[in-house]
Structures are given as C-alpha cells and as structure tokens.
Amino acid sequence: MTNTNNPQNQEGCFKKALQILAGAVMTVVIGIGANTLVKLIENGTIKIPDIGGPMPSSSPTSPAPTSPTPTSSESPKSYELTGVWEADVTEFGKRTQIIWTIQADNTSSVQLVIDSRVQPPVSYTWQYLGDVLMEKDSIGNDRKSRIEWKASNNFEQTILEDQISEFKGLKRNFYRR
C-alpha cells in the first residue's frame, strides 16, 4: 500500500488526479467523447505531458445491466440508444412522423414524414455522454439534445441546440419500433 503521508506520494497522486480531471473537463466542457479523446491522444493530436508515473488503469467494462431501464443512479449506455425509434408530433402546425435509426457504429439517419410527404433522410454521426446526445449532420451542423428515459423502449428528447433556433426546447417522445 502507498504511504499517502509521504509528501512526494501525495504530490504524485495529486498530479495524476489533475491529469484525469483535465481529461474529464475536455470530455464534458469541450464535448469531446471519451473514445475520441483517447484517439486524439494516441495519434498525437493532443499531447499530455508525463507527470510522474503511469496512469491508473481503467476499470474493466461492467456487464450490461440486467434491467433494460436505467435507474436514477446510473447513466444509460449508448447501446440502449441503438435501434429504430419513432415519434409522432405536431411541430409548427404540421403533423410529423420521425423515424430515427441509430446504429452502434455512431451513425444515424432521420426520416421525416411531414403532412404525409416523405422527406429525404438526413445522416448524422453521434456521441452519447451521460444524458446528452450530440449529433453532427453530413454538412457539419451540430445538434445537442437531452435524453430522458421513460422506459427501456421509450425516451423523451429535448433539443438543447440546433442550427434551426426554433427547434431549441422542443420535446419529442420516441418509442422503439
């Protein structure tokens, strides 16, 4: 066991904690996903100075939860989001059916049927951090929304940011198809 009363050990632990915190801040504040952050570090785009010893190993991946509906104390996993989802809403006076296909490879597509007229699908890449889903469409527009799970086959999406400012604050109730 490490002697934490030794000032050198305390300083080393503090530096390691600071390094971990810096990574967490980049992940949360800047919006870089953990996998993206690791890739950027590995390919040398982001350089993290060695501050004394190896980083603690990450804990092994925990098995999938036995209950498909997350409890209030655990964050939903991105694999729970994958699948085909549907919402029927009225937005800006138009009846809209949204069919949202979310793939495990962090790509998705949205098919809209507005007043019975099928629209061309829009493709996205996505990252899911905590309860926030961040998406980027094929021309670079960003969208951010909060996902609130109601059941394993139902969530409410609240749009937090979108290139179309009128969408901000809209809520959509999705069901698994």
Query: What's the pLDDT tens digit per position in 10-63?
Result: 454 444 443 444 444 344 434 445 445 445 555 555 544 444 444 444 334 444
> How far does CA 63 lie from the centroid of its chain?
19
Query: What is the pLDDT at residue 25?
Result: 39
Tokens describing residue 74? 């655990």
**Domains of the chain, each with CATH number or no CATH:** 1-60 (no CATH), 78-176 (2.40.128.370)
Report the DSSP pairing between strands 83-91 and 142-151. Answer: unpaired
Q: Does residue 137 register a pLDDT over 80?
A: yes
Distance, in Å, from the CA atom of 10 to the CA atom of 138, rounded to the nearest integer, reads: 48
Provide the pLDDT confidence category of residue 77 given band limits of 50, 70 and 90.
Answer: confident
Q: Does residue 171 register a pLDDT over 90?
A: yes
Q: Does residue 103 register a pLDDT over 80?
A: yes
Query: What is the pLDDT at residue 113?
Result: 97
Q: What is the mean pLDDT of residues 67-84?
A: 64
Residues 6+ apart with CB under 8 A from 157: 87, 133, 145, 146, 147, 171, 172, 173, 174
Q: Does residue 65 register a pLDDT over 70?
A: no
Q: Does residue 92 register a pLDDT over 50?
A: yes
Q: Does residue 174 register a pLDDT over 80?
A: yes
